[in-house]
Amino acid sequence: MRKYLTGGILVSILTVIVVFFTGCPTEEPKYDYKYFSKRRWCPTKQVNMHSKAIQHSDEKKMKNYYKVSYYKGSKQIASSTVFKNMKKPAGNWYYYHKNGQIEKEMVHKKGKLDELYEYKYNKDNEKTTYSHYIFSKNANKLLRVQSRYFYDSYKECNKRLTGKVENYNGAILDEIIKYDYDNKCRLSKKSVYLFNNQLNGYNLYHYNSDNLLVKEEIYNRENIMTYFIVYEYYPSKLLKDYKMHRIEQGNKNKPAKPILLRRKTYIYDKDGKLTKESEYDTVDNILEKVSHREYKYDKHGCIVCKKIYNSSGILMEKVCH
C-alpha cells in the first residue's frame, strides 16, 4: 500500500487516522459527531460540503455512529465508519489510475484488510478487468469474482463499444454477456450465455425518435418474454415514469397478460433537478407505494437536503446540512 500514499493523499489519510482516535479535525469544526456525518463533493460549487443525518426511527443508535468521506480535489480517497464503542475502526481507501478512473478499493473491517476491488485498463482507457478479492483469517488473498471486458469498433459512430463481458466465479467461467448495437450505435440487444455457451436469456431495447429508451423486453432461454419495462418522459426528455411488468403466461384458453410489478415516478423543478422520487412495489399482488424521496438544492445546484419517507408518509431518514 505504501507506494500509493504520496503527497496530499498521505496527509488526508493520516487525517482519517487522527479522526479515528481524536475525533473532529480542528480545521473542520462543522462536523457534528453526535449524528451520522457525511462529507461530499459538489462539482458545481467546487468545494467539499458537510451534511448530517438523523434517522428518526432509531435516533439513539445513530447518535453512536458516524461516517466520514475524504476527498482530494473531486476524487474520494477514503471513507471511515466508526461506532462510539468500536475498538478498531472500519474504512475504505480508494486509489486512482493515471487516466483518472478508479484503480483499487481496499475495504478494512475490524482493523484488518477484508476485501479488495481492482480495476485494470488498456491503452485506450477502456476497462479490461474487474476483480473482487476476499481475505481469509490467515490473510490469504482469494479471488471471488472477476469480469473481463472486450470491445468492438463501430465505424457508424467512430467509437469502440463493449462487445462482450466474461464473468468468472473465482477462476471458473460462469457466464458470458454479449452486446449488439443498431446503426446509430444504440444498445439493441444484450444476450446472456452460460459457461457452456448455451443461451440463458436476452434483453431487447427500443428507442423513440429522440433516441430515448422507451421499452426493454426481457426473454428467457425459450424465447418467451417474461418481463418488460416501459419508460415515459416529460417533453423536456427527463424521465417521468418507470414501469416494470411481469408477463403472466397463458395457455390456449387463456392469453398471456402483463401485470404491473414495480413503478417509479420522478418530479423535477424548473431547472431540471430531481425534487421527488416515488417507488411502488407489489405487496400481496397489489401495487402499493413503498417509499418516496424528496430533494432540495442550493443556488449552486447542490443537494442540501434529502428526506426519505415510508409508505405511510412517515419521515424515516433525513440528510441535511
- The full set of domains in the chain, from first to last, is 209-321 (2.40.128.720)
CA pseudo-torsion sign 61, 62, 64, 66:
positive
Name the band, by pLDDT with cuts 50, 70 and 90, for residue 63: very low
Residue 22 scores a pLDDT above 70: no
Average pLDDT, the chain: 78
- What confidence category does residue 262 fall into, taking pLDDT thresholds of 50, 70 and 90? very high
Q: What CA–CA distance (Å, rounded) separates 121 from 23?
A: 38
Instruction: Compute φ and ψ for 99, nearest 5 degrees.
Output: -80, 0
Residues of the chain with pLDDT > 70: what percent? 71
Tens of pLDDT, residues 101-113? 899 998 888 778 8
Name the DSSP class of 31: -
pLDDT, tens digit, 9 for 90 and up, residues 281-290: 987 777 889 9
Q: For the CA atoms of 109, 110, 114, 117, what is the dihedral angle to 10 degrees?
A: 30
Evaluate if residue 134 carries a pLDDT over 80: yes
Longest dimension (CA), the chain: 74
What's at 162, amino acid-wise? T
- Please count the residues of the chain: 321
Q: Can you tell me the mean pLDDT for 151-165? A: 91
pLDDT at 162 over 50: yes
Find where cell 444484450 sits.
190
Phi, psi of 156 (to 5 degrees): -60, -35
φ/ψ (deg, to 5) at 22: -120, -15
Under 8 Å between Cβ of 123 and 134 = no
Q: What cell does 196 get?
A: 457452456
8 Å CB contact between 281 and 288: yes
Mean pLDDT of all residues in 50-71:
47
pLDDT at 40: 53
pLDDT band for position 10 (cuts 50, 70, 90): very low
Q: Say yes or no to pLDDT of 267 above 50.
A: yes
Q: Secondary structure of the chain: what % helix, strand, coil (to 5)? A: 10, 60, 30
- Is the pLDDT score of 78 beyond 70? no
User: Which residues 6+ apart lie within 8 Å of 227 measured at CB?
Assistant: 217, 218, 244, 245, 246, 247, 261
Within 8 A by CB and 6+ apart from 57, the residues are 316, 317
Give the per-residue pLDDT at 107.
87
Q: In this model, does residue 321 exceed pLDDT 70? A: no
Position 270 scores a pLDDT of 94
pLDDT of residue 282: 86
Integer Cα distance of 291 and 310 in angstroms: 4
pLDDT tens readout for residues 183-234: 999 999 999 999 999 999 999 999 999 999 999 999 999 999 999 999 999 9
